[in-house]
Chain A
């Protein structure tokens, strides 16, 4: 079974999976491994990182030297295809500013804008995993039970211990480097799971020294990049003890994945498969089992149901022919990304489900969350005129600062309830078109030979810190269908309501203060004053591209869409395995948890299929 045209589908599948990113890839992988016949529908085009990734290509022969544009906001070489902050013909609606009355199509292409919500969507096989930052932090025990701790937000209907074995499995499968430090609410992986972290860079070591004075831990980052090749003899047996066929398929794929070459940005994708992308890690072995069909350019409109209220398949638009088609399956899994899956449910109205599918509780679209983000830069004299050396490393941070003030928070010493971690970068990166903008503040406007000397002096001496903090779900942040607006495929679009609460705004202000302290502690100066008004410091909703929630899980069908296994309370053979089920959004970047949760849900789905319950 392979990539197929929409005219070549089987009469019926065991499971349809909508979406091919972290959630869809993981779900289809586990299903295919278990011998379940799967059809995957992806709204974007087929994409192969081995064939298409611009490894080592430099800005010199790229348009505008590769600088970001509205077409490619992360730069020309970013892997994203067919979308970004905007997908042509597929708008979403927002209200601009707090006082605005009118709904309007979201237009801004700059996350620094005043647009209140931004929604990043690619249209490609593998979805956002192709350009993802690949930070892979586990949520901790506290993160699953936030309400029990501080009375705010919603508890998950599962514990860290329920997901821990799945975190181990996902990390073993995709390959994550990092270390076990035994820190509070920052879980260790089981022995033998993590790959060794790369050595820190000079500026990372300096930051660590400076942070030690402030009591801030700086530890190896956890990133889905192969710091060495995976053990293809040990891991497949460990992950799939009952399936020799999957062991073989996985071992073969692991042998095609090379270790990181410590060069070229992972945001471009990776032709040697050294990082995790659904397209290089999940899909090839799943396809090799022969149990997976994939149709690309297939835009799903709604889930079909029968007179008993069971899901029977999905309706979708073949974007190439514009034909409206239907495929059947015993089970439907939505893994189209938080908001997109909610959109499909809300658009699946019928006699049985007048309010949209799986929505008897009225919670579909509710509790939309992103990550609290803001940043600050600094210039560090100790790094000036550094001896020439290669600092590329993994494209991203080798070290980071996990949240460290649990004790103060418990003691009520902070004016915000939840934590954040700090990501940071800098150093002697490949110069880009805009790398030396704003140098006047340091050079006094020099030009000529003096300017050249100034640049040699300052190059590599800049550092930036970005906070990534927990947002608490609130009643004012949600998405719903705009009944007046359809996309180019005739499908009603989403509109977004968004509000940061004071919890997030105060946290952002604290981030700014902390960044300034670290920069001062490094002997540096900030490149702009810290913004201590959290309302102004905080990035717009959605701009960190960690949107989760909108199909919340819970213990009670009256106030949750899904049970703890991502199964819809109202429709037993319908699951949502993306970020939608999240009821908290810890500071830990969500993708790893999406995959662990999807794996657990899919194990349950397979068991229920076998028992004949669905």
Chain B
């Protein structure tokens, strides 16, 4: 079973199809449907460091439209907009995740399998519990699933693989979000600017840590 099949069906049909599938497979065999590994080469040992690179420039991307939709929704569950800064989707974090899982390096290939399996699981689980795809669930429904998988050490055995997926996916979402100027601003990183002097911590910082 994979999302490529589901994607070709009209939505209502796809939900039925997924429901049927989950009825026969109580717990998905995680390893049975990893996507084929990317065959591209790495960027090598002498890449131009001054160019700008965007997702898809160096190796073909992986996610289908359906997968992108789920991934985008999950990114926003992990990093929603708040009063201070935008949601993950507004910063196109899903492009980074797609670039990451499409890269031809061992760590990324491992994450590829985890993420693709995880997205498929999430869709199946959503249909099973709420008869809707994950992106179409209410916030409460989305959280109901995520609460079961957000903390691997305490996840029930049935959710262990899904929890591994969530950990990886949260790390990737965070990596994609906080490496942007908006992410820097959010977290309070104000460096990478040329200074004439380095003045050390300002008085309010010294006071804060009890050194003044």
CB under 8 Å from chain B, chain A span 25-82: 45, 52-54, 56-67, 69-72, 76-77, 80-82
Interface contact A389-B192, CB-CB below 8 Å: no
Q: Judging by beta carbons under 8 Å apart, are A263 and B201 in contact?
A: no
Contact of B53 among A63, A263, A382, A449 (CB under 8 A): A63
The answer to whether the Cβ of A84 comes within 8 Å of any Cβ in the partner chain is yes
A69:B49 contact, CB within 8 angstroms: no
Partner of A60, one of B45, B166, B180, B190: B180
Q: A77-B49, A440-B152 are in contact. Are A61 and B54 (CB under 8 A)?
A: yes
B194 with A433: CB separation less than 8 A:
no
Which of B188, B198, B202, B211 contacts A198 (CB under 8 A)?
Answer: B198
Bound-complex Cα distance A566 to B166 (A): 58
Q: A71-B44, A202-B201, A434-B171 are in contact. Are A261 and B195 (CB under 8 A)?
A: yes
Chain-A contact segment, one of B6-14, B103-111, B115-123, B124-132: B103-111
Of chain A, the residue at the smallest CB distance from B52 is: A61
In the assembled complex, B82 has its CB within 8 A of some CB on chain A: yes
A-contacting 9-mer, from B25-33, B60-68, B72-80? B72-80
Interface centre among A199, A437, A452, A459 (most CB of B within 10 A): A452
Chain B residues near A445 (CB-CB < 8 A): 150-154
A85 to chain B, nearest CB (A): 11
Instruction: Give which listed residue, A59, A386, A429, A447, contacts B179 with CB less than 8 A.
Output: A59
| CB of B114, distance to nearest CB on chain A (Å) | 14
Q: Which chain B residues border A452 with CB–CB below 8 Å?
A: 79-80, 82, 84, 186
Residues of A within 8 A of B100 (CB): 64, 433
Cα distance, A54 to B154, chains bound together (Å): 43
Q: Is the CB of A433 within 8 A of B195?
A: no
By the criterion CB–CB under 8 Å, are A83 and B195 in contact? no
Report the Cα distance A535→B99, complex, angstroms.
Answer: 38
> What is the bound-complex CA distance between A390 and B199, given in angstroms?
9
B window 1-50: CB within 8 A of A? 42-47, 49-50
When the two chains form their complex, are residues B175 and A436 in contact, meaning their CB atoms are under 8 A apart?
Answer: yes
> Residue on B with the closest CB to A453?
B82
A441's nearest neighbour on chain B, judged by CB, is B153
A146 to B153, CA, bound (A): 49
Chain A nearest CB from B140 CB (Å) reads 12
Query: Contact partner of B99 among A54, A58, A64, A76, CB < 8 A?
Result: A64
* Cβ-defined partner of B78 (8 Å) among A69, A71, A81, A448: A448
- Which residues from chain B contact A447 at a C-beta distance below 8 Å? 77-78, 146, 150, 166, 170
Inter-subunit contact A88/B45 (CB<8 Å): yes
A393 interface contact, C-beta 8 A: yes
A455 touches B151 (CB 8 A): no
Say yes or no: is B141 at the interface (Cβ < 8 Å to chain A).
Answer: no
Using CB atoms, name the residue of chain A closest to B49. A54
Q: For residues 151 through 207 of chain B, which have their beta carbon under 8 Å from a beta carbon of chain A?
A: 151-154, 166-167, 170-171, 174-176, 178-181, 183-184, 186-195, 197-202, 204-206
Per the 8 Å Cβ criterion, residues 432-474 of A in contact with B are 432-437, 439-440, 444-449, 451-452, 455-456, 459-460
Among B175, B183, B192, B206, the residue within 8 A (CB) of A67 is B175
Given the interface pairs A201-B201, A262-B198, A448-B80, the reply to whether A58 lies near B208 with Cβ below 8 Å is no
Residue A111 at the chain B interface, CB threshold 8 Å: no
Q: Which residues of A contact B194 (CB under 8 A)?
A: 56, 261-263
Given A61-B53, A261-B195, A263-B194, 20 further pairs, Cβ under 8 A:
A58-B192, A60-B180, A66-B179, A72-B43, A77-B49, A261-B194, A382-B210, A392-B191, A393-B198, A428-B191, A431-B179, A431-B183, A432-B175, A433-B175, A433-B176, A434-B175, A436-B178, A440-B151, A445-B151, A452-B82
Residues on B lying within 8 angstroms of A by beta carbon are: 42-47, 49-50, 52-54, 57-58, 77-80, 82, 84, 96, 99-100, 103, 105-108, 143, 146, 150-154, 166-167, 170-171, 174-176, 178-181, 183-184, 186-195, 197-202, 204-206, 208-211
Which residues of A are in contact with B by a Cβ distance under 8 Å?
45, 52-54, 56-67, 69-72, 76-77, 80-84, 88, 198-202, 205-206, 209, 260-264, 268, 382-383, 386-394, 428-437, 439-440, 444-449, 451-452, 455-456, 459-460
A-B contact pairs, 26 of them (CB 8 A): A45-B46, A56-B192, A59-B179, A60-B179, A61-B54, A63-B57, A64-B99, A64-B103, A65-B176, A69-B42, A69-B43, A69-B107, A71-B42, A82-B46, A202-B205, A202-B211, A260-B198, A386-B188, A392-B195, A429-B191, A431-B178, A433-B175, A435-B178, A436-B178, A448-B80, A451-B170
